[in-house]
Structure 1
Amino acid sequence: MRLVDLSHTIEPGMPLFSDSAPQPRITPWMSHADSAQTGAYEGTTCELTEVAMITSAGTYMDSPYHFHPDRDTIDRLTLDQLVLPGVVVDCTNAPRAIGPDVLSGVDVAGRAVLFHTGWDRYWGEPRYHEHPYLTGGAARALLEGGAKLAGVDFLVIDDTSDPTRPVHVTLLGADILIVENLTNLAALPPEGFLFHAAPARVRGAAAFPVRAYAAITQEDSP
């Protein structure tokens, strides 16, 4: 088995879904130097870190509650929703509006469907905000095919110029989870892997960062 990291690092200055969203702040609540002055430690020191951030940051998961106030929040998701057999859909030559045609012949039933566009190469650049998106038709194809999760290697799965957000509404309304800002999908085989994306169990959260990775089980994987 080989593990492939599919997550970006959370840090100040990272791309966020909106310029108005607050950047993460990662600071010592108690530094090593501070701990040495407390008298609580002898021959060693420790640091405690405080993190303040919006939860839709980095590589993160949307819960159904994100767009449906009567549905499950992050803490209510089950582990079998977070570890799934995966399939990669090659969208590197697809148009900016990714339609259902890319799913032709792809068995998505019960799977995490990861859309590989290669857009993660623009992470940290202004162009990252000019990302591709799935169409409402693609979302309906995922729903009709029985997908369990949709993951993308770009900023937002929807066309942000469309205020109805059809992909979020359709997928999350059917308990199909969404993971945005994946990276390194080029390192995965088309199938033959388990996709892991477990957020911390934070009560009431609509979304939360994940450490997404793939566990490749096929011996002939690249």
Structure 2
Amino acid sequence: MEPIDLTRRIEPGMPVYPGDPGVSAESSATMQSDGYRVTHLSFTTHVGTHIDAPAHMEPEGSTLDEYDVGDFRFDARLVDLTGERGDGGLDAREPIEPGTLPDGTPDADMLVLRTGWGDHWGDDRYFDHPYLTPGAARHVADLDCAVGLDTINPDPTPTERAGDDEPAGTPAHHELLGAGAFIVENLDLTADLPERFTLRAYPLRVDGDGAPVRAVAERSSRAD
């Protein structure tokens, strides 16, 4: 298996969480004026394909700099929800319940959930993704797994199309991060991936609540 890049490109105009500042890229030095190029980039710690550290939501949660680099290498199991009901996948803003996720020992330390919502990257529909119920997030945490998603949020993202019956706030984040489980969001899962693979999601080395990652899938030693 050749390495597969699961990372969204960071660029101006890309989707960001509603209310967050967008990405900007401005030249601070140019070849014409200075003989070299330097670009000033501005974005949040939760832009594009990124990892959430517990400090993102938990007052006493760990920041990224408290982990060893090896902690960002995951034995991943792909959970493909796109044909869950046999009718082409999940609906907009559909809750993902515990019963749709693996039970027992998953023989993995990350569950990568393919909802199919990555197909909507770049349009407004992307923000009306399926989401984990608090019970489903608790189930993942009880399995001692991190979670990766092809959505911008494991919780419902606020839009004008939000339903009155959706969970308020960020309960899925709290269930996962409160248990010390990483969350990797905005994965590009459109490639043909095996059920088992190694995911390398190395963040920028910052003492922060999260950071963009270069997410790469590689062959897993457990695949055979």
* Bin of the TM-score, shorter chain as denominator length: 0.7 to 0.9
- Aligned AA (1:174): A
The answer for the alignment partner of 1:194 in structure 2 is 198
Say if 1:140 and 1:51 are closer, same or farther in 2 by CA, change over 3 A: same
The answer for the alignment partner of 1:28 in structure 2 is 27
Taking only aligned residues, the RMSD between alpha carbons, in angstroms, comes to 2.1
Q: C-alpha separation between the residues in 2 aligned to 1:135 and 1:179? A: 17
The one of 41, 45, 49 equivalent to 2:39 is 49
Q: For residue 187 of structure 1, give the secondary structure of its aligned residue in structure 2.
A: coil
| Preserved contact between residue 75 and residue 220 of structure 2 (Cα < 8 Å) | no
Q: C-alpha separation between the residues in 2 aligned to 1:201 and 1:178? A: 17
Greater Cα radius of gyration, structure 1 or 2: 1
How many pairs are equivalent?
Answer: 208
1:2-44 Cα distance to aligned partner (Å, 9 max, x none): 10111111111111110x22111112221112223xxxxxxxx
Say if 1:131 and 1:146 are closer, same or farther in 2 by CA, change over 3 A: same
Output the TM-score relative to the length of structure 1: 0.86
| Preserved contact between residue 128 and residue 154 of structure 1 (Cα < 8 Å) | yes
Q: Which runs of 5+ in 1 are unaligned?
A: 37-45
1:100-159 Cα distance to aligned partner (Å, 9 max, x none): 112234643551110011111100011111111111111111122121x10100111112
Percent identity over paired residues: 34
Q: C-alpha separation between the residues in 1 aligned to 2:104 and 2:118? A: 23
Following TM superposition, by how much is the alpha carbon of 1:184 offset from its aligned partner in structure 2, in angstroms? 2.4
The answer for the alignment partner of 2:211 in structure 1 is 208
| Preserved contact between residue 2 and residue 217 of structure 1 (Cα < 8 Å) | no
- Report whether the alignment pairs 1:183 with 2:188: yes
1:160-180 Cα distance to aligned partner (Å, 9 max, x none): 353331110011011100011
- Aligned AA (1:125): D
Following TM superposition, by how much is the alpha carbon of 1:218 offset from its aligned partner in structure 2, in angstroms? 6.7
The answer for the alignment partner of 1:169 in structure 2 is 174
Q: For residue 202 of structure 2, give the secondary structure of its aligned residue in structure 1.
A: coil
Q: C-alpha separation between the residues in 2 aligned to 1:218 and 1:142? A: 22
Say if 1:164 and 1:126 are closer, same or farther in 2 by CA, change over 3 A: closer
Q: Which runs of 5+ in 2 are unaligned?
A: 85-89, 158-165
The answer for the alignment partner of 2:58 in structure 1 is 68
| Preserved contact between residue 200 and residue 215 of structure 2 (Cα < 8 Å) | yes
Q: For residue 85 of structure 1, give the secondary structure of its aligned residue in structure 2.
A: strand
Q: For residue 118 of structure 2, give the secondary structure of its aligned residue in structure 1.
A: helix
| Preserved contact between residue 104 and residue 143 of structure 2 (Cα < 8 Å) | no
- Aligned AA (2:126): Y
Following TM superposition, by how much is the alpha carbon of 1:181 offset from its aligned partner in structure 2, in angstroms? 0.6
Q: How does 1:117-196 map to 2 (within 5 A)?
A: 117-147=115-145, 149-160=146-157, 162-191=167-196, 193-196=197-200
1:193-219 Cα distance to aligned partner (Å, 9 max, x none): 21111111112x211111111012479
| Preserved contact between residue 109 and residue 145 of structure 1 (Cα < 8 Å) | no
Q: For residue 214 of structure 2, give the secondary structure of its aligned residue in structure 1.
A: coil
